[in-house]
Structure 1
Amino acid sequence: MGNNSNIKPLQAALLERLPGTRVRERELLCEHTTFKIGGPADLFIEPTSMAELSFVLRTIHEQRVPVTVIGCGSNILVKDGGIRGAVVSVRQMMQIMDCNDNTLCIGSGFMLKDASEFAWKNSLTGLEFAIGIPGTLGGAVFMNAGAYDGEMSNVVTMVRAVDFEGHIKEYDASHLDFAYRHSIFHDNHEVIGEVVMTLEYGDKAAIKARMDELTAKRESKQPLEFASAGSTFKRPPGYFAGTLIEQTGLKGLSVGDAQVSHKHAGFVINTGRATAKDVLNLIQEVQRRVYDEHGVHLEPEVRMIGED
């Protein structure tokens, strides 16, 4: 365990309200990321509600332990040394709260794909674009995730979040500071707990047809059979990252078991037992060679966290 002497008192305080199955020591984070990479967390905590999330963050703050928050780990690379302090996963915050007509209120740990399917089953249109995006609803709002001409800013009307002292906040859409792959939560570092979306009623068959079309398109173009963190680089202005990487001749370039996908050059994949160091070295090599050839700097979309 890390050097933080407050881990044991924190664990004891959390166990006063949470079961031991949701407060675990030395949890390997490779089991909680889509890259299947990452060392241990000193303490891994899974709240299931806004009240528990508030309690957990307040208790961590009182014990002066550093905290990292994750969802299903679909847009992060956890380094091989793992993460010191507490890791809070919102993955179990999956409740569907009161749904009024075309408005959905859903916990931030609910998978985005499942939210898209829930909308379709209720004849609601507006979330079709999200059917193939890996990750949780909270992560999608945090990143303002988007694909195929849709993005979260088009449908989110309100977010409930918790700050690191345990205070619950509410934000309507006009205060979420949405931009390309950005929201206010990049700046205020509060933790998204619940998301309210307003959709439109539509034709159920047409909604499903659009979802099937986007799923087929994604499966044909993306290396979904391998572990990855999704699209590795942000789109540089005026370019597509995958096209630049392919034009530089880097498809198939490997460092250890980390590889630039043959199927889509914008994806770095884990072909077996890649380490975070392998992935980081490969990303840096891709950045260097694309810059040398095209003069364009590729900025990672994947967040790197933890210790070497």
Structure 2
Amino acid sequence: MKRLKSYYMHLRHHQNMERKWIFPLAVGSIVSLFLLFLTTITTSDGMSLFPFYRSFSSFSSKFVETKIHPIPTSNLPPPARFAYLISGSAGDGKMLKRTLQALYHPDNQYVVHLDRESSAEERLDLSNFVKDHPVFLRFCNVRMITKANLVTYRGPTMVANTLHAAAILLREGGDWDWFINLSASDYPLVTQDDLLHTFSYLPRDLNFIDHTSNIGWKEFQRAKPVIIDPGLYMTKKADVFWITQRRSVPTAFKLFTDVIRAIPIVELRLPHVIFVISILVTMNAIVLYL
């Protein structure tokens, strides 16, 4: 009986000892949670209210991991943009539409023109094609010169038509980098994506034709002959012709001619070379007439 009583007293004393630890443990837990909550409170400028926490944060910011920034996966240059003039004459309506579709890219700008020698029905068909094409309507980057010009090959009317299209592109076409003059019979040898990607790595102020006032032999062969363009005064197309009289070199202004830059062409692959050379030949004729 005495053993049972002593065992009961020992068990009761042990339970009382465990109860004494519960209260301090609960108080300590509450205080710890309260202090942890206070460390998360910051001021309006994002600084912590407690200097100890601030010093710990500044100490942790000295690790190199905090100074590492992710490197962008791609650092490609912005894509280039071209402005095209695609022109044709009588019977070139279908070829012009084919060339336009082959050259089309949403980032480019386009002006199409069928000269006055083409029929009104052919020009109307091209106009409806441009207006009703869903892709052209979405990006609004294809325009047609509705008032047809009479264009004579190698004549001043050809230069005037090109300048007319360039003026439209400068006024309405937004930002573009290079102007390309093509005819309806031209066709690209590479896709526009490849061409735009290649030209994206070239400086935007790069011109493939430099001008010079040292015209040399061209003074006698190009500046003094008088060329008559029937497209300036006739309603029917006819070839330009030269008259026997020669004029003196003008003194009110200077004549300039072009020097083709061959270095950028050599750096391009063969398909680009053929394509760019055709561009330079066209622009070469324009500069000489100017």
Q: TM (normalized to structure 2)?
A: 0.20
| Higher share of residues assigned strand | 1
| Higher share of residues assigned helix | 2
Q: TM (normalized to structure 1)?
A: 0.20
